[in-house]
Amino acid sequence: MRSGCPERAGTISSRSLEPCEPGIFLRIFNTSTSVIDPEAPQVVRVVAGLVFRSGHLLITQRKPGSHLGGLWEFPGGKVEAGETLEQALRRELREELGIETQPELALEEAEHAYPTKTVRIVFFKCRLESGEPRGAEGQGIRWVSRGELSAFEFPSADEGLKRRLELEAALWEEA
């Protein structure tokens, strides 16, 4: 894990962005105490892709019966040991949707504490290189316009970026 980002921590009191590399930012979490809480939920590292085509954004629906089932999300998944964020995102989109993509820009990082785990997610703007998305794991798939996005319910961890996408037209320009 990168310096300054604890894997498990107690209450988060403040957040800031610190340049890491050109165009990439690392979110630093300052805790109210320097003691790591052994009872705190495990942090799960996740990546998600914003894939655009002809002015539409690809979103997927979580399977009923799964964690957050029925909600819509930006497609992606968990980062496995030894993978870079970009490798994990390419693998997840290939496995889940049958598409080849190129992550081009890390847009945002968010952290959300659910009752059983904390999710730390990095959202990438991606270029669709090949393939037609299909729900290999039974999930719903939609291409939505900027005006349609607000009609879909997303998990809490995705809501900040969803609101930003609704407001900022420039984000909809294809990578």
Structure tokens at 13: 């009191």
Mean pLDDT along residues 118-138? 92
For 43-56, give one letter per residue: b (16+ CB within 10 A) or e: bebbbbbbbbeeeb
Which class is domain 41-172? alpha beta
Whole-number CA gyration radius for the chain:
16
For 58-71, give one letter per residue: b (16+ CB within 10 A) or e: bbbbbeeeeebeeb
Q: Which amino acid is at 164?
A: R
Give the pLDDT confidence of 75-108 residue by residue, as tens digits. Answer: 999 999 999 999 999 999 999 999 999 999 999 9
Domain coordinates in residue numbering, the chain:
1-39, 41-172
Give the pLDDT confidence of 143-160 residue by residue, as tens digits. Answer: 999 999 999 999 888 999
**pTM for the full model?**
0.74
